[in-house]
Structure 1
Amino acid sequence: MTKRAFAPVVDARTRLLILGSLPGDASLAAQEYYAHPQNAFWRLVGRVVAVDLVGLPYPERLAALRMARVGLWDVIVSGERRGSLDAAIRRAEAADLLALVATLPELRAIAFNGALAARTGRRLLGEDCGLTVIDLPSSSPAHARPFATKADVWDQLSITLR
């Protein structure tokens, strides 16, 4: 089954762009980034922007990210996949990451949410993109690391927003 990414959540003030791989089934069904209730994304990024995002309705979550100058997108715009695991993605069509980056004059850093996002995104950006590039442990429940371990790495993103 072919699955498609959502539109980027960015504006001209975006300083930090967090990139996942491709939305999972729960996200596609809800039409929301990171909609699976066990995905730690909103808890992790909420710590970075110092806002409890988990309790907010989705539109307010996105508004809070925009206010904090954080953007979201994926490195794959479409691909075939059964289920939600990154390892199951086939026939992936890469996002035009360089074109998006060119529209973000305040962008300082790109963070990759998980290993596939990092591998794909680094290849798309090339060796010297002129930005801080950060590989994050996946927020997905399939990436079985304790929350505190993930948070230690994710918390470092707050430096890019200063």
Structure 2
Amino acid sequence: MLCIGLSPSIDKDCRALILGSMPGVKSLEEQQYYAHPQNRFWPMMADLLGEALPSRYEEKLAMLLDHHIALWDSIGQCEREGSLDSAIREERGNDFTALLQAYPAIRAIFFNGGKSSQAFRRHNKALLQRPDIAFYAMPSTSPANARWRLPMLEETWRKALTEAGILCYTESKK
């Protein structure tokens, strides 16, 4: 089945970019990043940002943008049956050269899972040489990554987001 990814959620103030690989079936159906109810991305990010978890998708995107975090995917189009990254075939990467030209404040890119990192690195070798951007390979928040429990994910993501200067505090506003 042909899968076409979602548009980026980004604005001119974003300093960080979180990249998935390709949205799963549920996310593509809903046209929403991380729409699967068992994906830990949104609860994790709300906790790390010290925010209450918004119920509406638009509010979730706004929460990230308020903290200067953009979302997109390493893969713009692929063939895949189901939602597993291991089923991705005939991938085409997104145009990060154009994105980074349009949004020059991006200083850190976080790969949500191994496939995201692998695809980005395959299609963007020149960008990896940029000294002004830090790259972070992160454990996936997908329910398929069951060996990483939420507290472990949060600790790892918190360290990287803090190192990149995205998190200034870790207190919860819940």
> How far, CA to CA, are the matches of 2:67 and 2:33 in structure 1?
17
CA drift at 1:125: 4.7
Partner residue in 2 for 1:148: 151
Equivalent residue runs for 1:4-153 within 5 Å: 4-53=4-53, 55-123=54-122, 124-126=124-126, 127-130=128-131, 131-144=133-146, 145-153=148-156
CA drift at 1:47: 2.5
> How far, CA to CA, are the matches of 2:5 and 2:12 in structure 1?
21
RMSD between aligned residues: 1.4
> How far, CA to CA, are the matches of 1:110 and 1:47 in structure 2?
20
Counting matched residue pairs gives 161
Contact 1:13 1:105 in 2 (8 A): no
- Answer with 17-26 or 116-125: which moved more: 116-125
User: Given the two structures, how large is their TM-score scaled by the length of structure 1?
Assistant: 0.93
> How far, CA to CA, are the matches of 1:13 and 1:80 in structure 2?
33
> How far, CA to CA, are the matches of 1:47 and 1:103 in structure 2?
30
Contact 2:48 2:154 in 1 (8 A): no
Aligned AA for 1:135? A
Contact 1:97 1:125 in 2 (8 A): no
Partner residue in 1 for 2:171: none
CA drift at 1:6: 0.5
CA drift at 1:57: 0.6
Q: Deviations over 1:45-90 (max 9, x none)?
A: 223322123x421011111111110000001001010000000001
Identity of aligned residues (%): 39
Contact 1:13 1:106 in 2 (8 A): yes
Q: Deviations over 1:102-159 (max 9, x none)?
A: 2112211000000010112233153412211111100000012211111111112144
Aligned AA for 2:155? D
User: Given the two structures, how large is their TM-score scaled by the length of structure 2?
Assistant: 0.87
